[in-house]
């Protein structure tokens, strides 16, 4: 079996990830669960991993670096790859990306995300754990802008996951390590490249966060991701990353610039055939901005619960609705709730 056939077979099984490890079974992730895939010899696994690396990447790997990149099969199917050493042996994780960008309806996302995509300036964050579908939700929002607005979009990614065909928008996609050395460098350059919309693949340090807020402040619409599980945790994480002398300024900037935070996670469906998104949505209303400004983030959930008329919802609201719609089981709702007591009260009142 060729490597291309190997990838396509995993795709036909609806796998989201493949884990190749020298000295261990090859496994795939289907509907969030790992399962054994194929018995491959250590020699075949090692040869397969090395075969997808360039000479330069192989040199870096030999020098002790982990390698991040994406690659495309001749049929257009794209994969994101991380190659690393474990116990002195080679291993790699392959994320199987969608060949086409689904729209927000197909993803089952709240309608309010379309309203967020129509904003002309400010900061929109999509957060969640690894594998929660953040990149796909962001791609769907960027694609909506691409189809509806004549503007300039710059994406800064590590690596590029989805390729956009230009529609109404002009799009430049920049990959860390290939086109630019870092997120910080790319963001500084982006501000001189006349963008209307900037997508930052990951806001992982103070320099990137600070530049993202400056970009939002100076009239751009900025999208970014963080590995946080709720809107309130996202605000706290951004403030915590900042040096003590900058915390107050960042809090004020964030209060002024935030348009919305979408915190999502994928949960197994009741029929056992897939996963669906449980989504928390916080919008930059006056009440939310005041809570950020006055450092009362702990009260955010209460404000979000009272903001359903404008499209806000907590994770518990989302899980409750999925349960009411028959999409997920009682046990799943309880397992993924960030407040099991409150979740139980909601479910029992159903």
Residue 208 CB coordination number (10 Å): 21
DSSP 81: E
Q: pLDDT tens-digit profile of 168-180?
A: 999 999 999 889 9
Write the CB contacts of 112 (distance below 8 Å, at least 6 apart in sequence).
260, 281, 283, 310, 311, 312
Structure confidence by residue, pLDDT tens digits, 270-327: 998 889 999 999 999 999 999 999 999 999 999 999 999 999 999 999 999 999 999 9
- pTM: predicted TM-score of the whole model, two decimal places: 0.91
For the chain, the average pLDDT equals: 94
Residue 3 has pLDDT above 90, yes or no: no
pLDDT tens per residue, range 96-133: 988 789 999 999 999 999 999 999 999 999 999 988 99
Tell me the C-alpha distance between 202 and 266, whole Å.
19
Distance of alpha carbon 222 from alpha carbon 87, whole angstroms = 40
Kindly write down the DSSP assignment for every residue of 186-246, as one continuous string: HHHHHTTS--SEEEES---SHHHHHHHHHHHHTT-EEEEEES-SSHHHHHHHHHHHS-GGG
> Which sign, positive or negative, has the C-alpha torsion 272, 133, 1, 87?
negative
What is the DSSP track for 135-177? HHHHHHHHHHHHHH---EEEEEESS---PPPPSSSEEEEEEBT
174 and 156 in contact (C-beta within 8 Å)? yes
Q: What are phi and psi of 23, to 5 degrees?
A: 95, 5
pLDDT of 192 > 90? The answer is yes
The residues, ordered by sequence, that sit 6+ positions from 226 with a Cβ below 8 Å of its Cβ are 125, 127, 202, 203, 234, 237, 238
pLDDT (average), residues 154-182 = 93
**Residue carrying structure tokens 């402040």:** 217
């Amino acid at each position: 079996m060729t490597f291309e056939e190997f990838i396509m077979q995993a795709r036909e099984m609806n796998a989201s990830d493949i884990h190749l490890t020298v000295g261990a079974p090859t496994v795939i992730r289907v509907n969030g669960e790992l399962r054994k895939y194929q018995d491959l010899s250590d020699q075949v696994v090692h040869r397969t991993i090395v075969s997808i690396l360039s000479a330069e990447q192989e040199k870096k790997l030999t020098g002790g670096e982990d390698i991040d990149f994406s690659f495309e099969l001749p049929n257009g199917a794209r994969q994101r790859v991380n190659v690393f050493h474990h116990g002195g042996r080679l291993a790699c994780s392959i994320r199987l990306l969608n060949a086409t960008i689904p729209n927000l309806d197909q993803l089952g996302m709240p309608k309010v995300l379309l309203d967020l995509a129509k904003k002309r300036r400010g900061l929109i964050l999509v957060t969640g754990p690894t594998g929660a579908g953040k990149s796909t939700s962001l791609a769907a929002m960027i694609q909506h802008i691409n189809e509806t607005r004549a503007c300039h979009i710059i994406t800064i990614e590590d690596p590029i996951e989805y390729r956009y065909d230009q529609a109404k928008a002009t799009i430049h996609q920049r990959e860390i390590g290939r086109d630019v050395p870092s997120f910080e460098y790319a963001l500084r350059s982006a501000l001189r490249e006349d963008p209307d919309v900037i997508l930052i693949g990951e806001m992982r340090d103070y320099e990137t966060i600070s530049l993202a807020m400056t970009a939002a402040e100076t009239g751009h619409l900025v999208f970014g991701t963080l590995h946080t599980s709720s809107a309130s945790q996202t605000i706290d994480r951004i403030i915590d990353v900042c040096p003590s002398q900058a915390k107050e300024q960042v809090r004020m900037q964030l209060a002024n610039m935030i348009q919305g935070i979408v915190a999502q996670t994928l949960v197994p469906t009741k029929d056992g055939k897939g996963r669906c998104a449980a989504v928390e949505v916080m919008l930059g209303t006056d009440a939310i901005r005041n809570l950020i400004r006055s450092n009362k983030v702990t009260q955010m959930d209460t404000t979000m619960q009272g903001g359903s008329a404008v499209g806000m919802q907590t994770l518990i609201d989302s899980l409750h609705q999925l349960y009411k719609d028959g999409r997920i089981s009682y046990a799943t709702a309880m397992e993924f709730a960030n407040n099991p007591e409150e979740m139980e009260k909601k479910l029992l009142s159903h």
